[in-house]
Structure 1
Amino acid sequence: MQLTDVRTIVDDPHGTYAALREAGPVHRVPGTDGKPAWLVTRYEDVRAALADPRLSLDKRHAAPGNYTGMSLPPALDANLLNMDPPDHTRIRRLVVKAFTPGRVEKLRVPVRRAADALLDAAAADASGTFDLIAAYAGPLPIAVMCDLLGVPRDDRPDFRSWTDALVAPDPARPEAAKEAVGHLMRFVTRLLAAKRAAPADDLLSDLIAVRDDEGGGRLSEDELLSLAFLLLFAGYENVTHLIGNTVLALLDHPGLLTTLRKDPDGLPALVEEVNRWDGPAPLAIRRFPLEDVEIGGVTVPAGETVLLSLASANRDPARFPDPDRLDLRRGASGQLSLGHGIHYCLGAALGRMEAETAVEALLSRFDELELAVPRGSLTWRPTVRARGLISLPLRGISSRRTGF
């Protein structure tokens, strides 16, 4: 199968990936930067490649002229998404303790309080309608990550507009992505300076202490800046889309919605299955072979761009029987939406908890939920990097239950 336009994937991702997967395990396609790339489609090949140390995340290993991805200032390039061991291992160890399942579980009650506050505002609309993405799924993970990092409430800029400009650039305004990077870098720089002057009980203050108290031996200034940038940036987008995709899945499966209203204990299984069935990250971070590598019987030359299709792997019938069916009983363990190996998503436990809590709070607040627009009018973000709705207008009848 020949794929010449990434719009084909945006319009029909699962149908397109199914055809590619059936045609072969590896395909030459236009990459996310418009340059040729190798797309890997089958579960076993994707899973093996995610943990293959011969496939580097460091774009310095890209062959000259082969890759022109997102352009970041040098200080922001020193981040976990562009880094291999041993630097990746060293930096990840500095923050992983903040995202363990035990620590994340302690955040569930404050996350529920934040969710209820957002739903209070949404339910107050006299029309009874609200946009789930703009009013709820977007603001909630921003609030959670800002609380974790210690961003003052009065000093939280519009992260959503900046991240949108980076994740789904507007072809009519190519300068918008560069402007968004500038906004984020200036904000993070000011925030770090404020934390140095007045440390608090938060993750950024802890990282600054590691940097300053040890003279940069474990964390350079650029690494500190890029880590703060990455946590703010990555802590929003995927969770927003996971919440939106999960709610849409429930609206498309009313029987399941009814079941979960009666038994919300099924929400963890729902979130895990939606991650497999229609997850927010269709592609893993691009990789570059350090040497010629054989994937699925195809030799990929050193330095060329490799794209691992998580969306395709998660619907591979060789791994998941009847993969196009949303089924909470299947047990979606092994799904690859959060990665595999040393680059497994750092915030996986936090993202799951936020999505579970957000959906539970939504179902508790509204006795009835329905789309406020025709199903066919919903539009997805015009990018292969993310799978998420631009908006999700809902109409709800509110109950008086407020949760915690």
Structure 2
Amino acid sequence: MTVPPLPPLFDRAFIDDPYPAYAWLREHAPVYRTRLPNGVDAFLVTRYEDAKAVLADLRLSKNAAVSFPGWQPGRTGIPGEHRSGIAAHLLNLDPPDHTRLRRLVSKAFTPRRIADFEPRVIEIADRLLDTFGPDPVDLVRAYAFPLPVIVICEMLGVPPEDQPIFHEWANGMIDRSGPRGGVGRSVKRVRGYLKQLIHKKRLALPDDPAADDLLSALVRASDEGEHLSEDEAAAMAFILLFAGFETTSGLIGNGTLALLQHPDQLAKLKADPGLLESAVEELLRYDGPVEFGTWRFTTEPITVGGVSIPAGEPVLAVLAAADRDPVRFSDPDVLDLARNEGGNLALGHGIHFCLGAPLARLEGRVAFSRLFARFPDLAFAAPAADLRWHSGLIMRGLHSLPVRTGTGADAHGCAVRPS
């Protein structure tokens, strides 16, 4: 039997809909070495059990500078993080440094603390929805992006008067369609601001010893002998900001698109709010915001899915492919908000599992429930051909999602095609 050719990787058609290529890779080359758009050769792992094993394998390092012989600043990780001196964060560290730094902030993301923040998340969501009018609105710019940015700014302790410029920089960090080097410049500006803000928090702490924002907690920990340097504190604040808004923004944007593409499932959710929790899990699985697990590098030869990988090689677990593996999930290309199989890898696995997962899930539940309660007739305001996705390697999210709030059909008289 003739094997069909692998669909092209990383072209525009792949960026818009990578799932046919992932299905081919799972079936014919589940551990596949390829050249990425940034010029780095890496192994892509696409089956669920293999990806899960890779995410938990401590023989895979997160520290490219130590474990990847071909490492050059800027070729892996977040653009500009090395030049800005904030690369020593959780996504780039191994134990024991990773263990020490994660322990310092994990108490801020306990289920109880996140639950206590829910009324404020609802208030922020409602305030953003209040700005929607009868004209078409970009759901990404007006809702999916600002909601998690405001939430993480408040958790970090960014003063309200500074949040507008902070939002501008945050947008610059994910807008890879802008001028060359724009992402790196935004990262540098955020780093400079955070370092200044940490210094201000340190000066203010004697007068406000009970301050419970995340930056004050980091300052307090470093002052109490937890061995957290100022650069480490800035790097920690940066990655909490970056991971805290981009993941949730993608969840809200991608999830709203999926729901509008599947009106039968949306109708079930409107009829039964009890489906909300499983709906968020299914939306994470079906078209989640993190397409690839973050960079990992073999520290010794390993075997994955029967393929030998030498030491010093980049390995990327493709979460979007793993979460559509038919061996793990029944009818994986079908959106089923009542699915109860659990275990998706959308927010990672192992010691690097997303620290803010409880917050992302809360924001997702609030965002969808408030959006469709306020605008039950939400509909597309543009055809599918106009939708564009960001071209970054790790994250998957829409540039924009034009919607109308008060009509049952979009202005073009057509529904966006199911993916």
Distance 1:347 1:396, change over 3 A: same
* Aligned partner (choices 132, 138, 150) of residue 143 of structure 1: 150
**Alignment match, 2:231:** 222
Report runs of 4+ in structure 1 exceeding 6 Å deviation. none
- Give 3-state SS (helix, strand or coil) of 1:368's partner: coil
Distance 1:59 1:71, change over 3 A: farther
**Alignment match, 2:219:** 208
**Alignment match, 1:176:** 182
Offset of residue 213 of structure 1: 2.8
- Identity, % of aligned pairs? 46
- Give 3-state SS (helix, strand or coil) of 2:54's partner: helix
Q: Is the 8 A contact 1:149 1:203 kept in 2?
A: yes
Offset of residue 128 of structure 1: 3.3
Q: Is structure 2 residue 284 aligned with structure 1 residue 283?
A: no
Whole-angstrom CA distance in 2 between matches of 1:74 and 1:325: 43
Deviates more, 1:284-293 or 1:251-260: 251-260
Whole-angstrom CA distance in 1 between matches of 2:393 and 2:85: 26
* Aligned partner (choices 6, 23, 28) of residue 10 of structure 2: 6
Offset of residue 133 of structure 1: 0.6
Offset of residue 229 of structure 1: 0.9
Offset of residue 380 of structure 1: 1.2
Q: Is structure 2 residue 99 aligned with structure 1 residue 89?
A: yes
Offset of residue 164 of structure 1: 4.7
Aligned length: 392
- Give 3-state SS (helix, strand or coil) of 1:307's partner: strand
* Aligned partner (choices 82, 86, 94) of residue 76 of structure 1: 86
**Alignment match, 1:39:** 44
Whole-angstrom CA distance in 1 between matches of 2:149 and 2:58: 33
Q: Is the 8 A contact 2:50 2:304 kept in 1?
A: yes
**Alignment match, 2:380:** 371
Q: Is the 8 A contact 1:32 1:385 kept in 2?
A: no
Offset of residue 102 of structure 1: 1.7
Task: Provide structure 2 residue ranges, at least 5 long, that are not aligned to the other structure.
Answer: 206-210, 408-419
TM-score (normalised: structure 2) = 0.89
Matching residue's letter, 1:28: R
**Alignment match, 1:48:** 53
Deviations 1:211-244 (A, max 9, x none): 1232xx4312221110011111111101001001
- Give 3-state SS (helix, strand or coil) of 1:242's partner: helix
* Aligned partner (choices 365, 370, 374) of residue 361 of structure 1: 370
Offset of residue 85 of structure 1: 0.6
* Aligned partner (choices 382, 389, 407) of residue 380 of structure 1: 389
Offset of residue 303 of structure 1: 1.0
Whole-angstrom CA distance in 1 between matches of 2:8 and 2:334: 28
TM-score (normalised: structure 1) = 0.92
Q: Which has the higher contact order (CA 8 A, sep 6+)?
A: 1
Deviations 1:63-106 (A, max 9, x none): 33255223423630110000001111111111111111121111
- Give 3-state SS (helix, strand or coil) of 2:377's partner: strand
Offset of residue 201 of structure 1: 2.9
**Alignment match, 2:416:** none
- Give 3-state SS (helix, strand or coil) of 1:39's partner: strand
Distance 1:247 1:3, change over 3 A: closer
**Alignment match, 1:185:** 191
Q: Is the 8 A contact 2:109 2:356 kept in 1?
A: yes
- Give 3-state SS (helix, strand or coil) of 2:69's partner: coil
Q: Is the 8 A contact 2:195 2:230 kept in 1?
A: no
Deviations 1:141-162 (A, max 9, x none): 0111111111111111444553
Offset of residue 277 of structure 1: 0.6
Whole-angstrom CA distance in 1 between matches of 2:184 and 2:80: 8
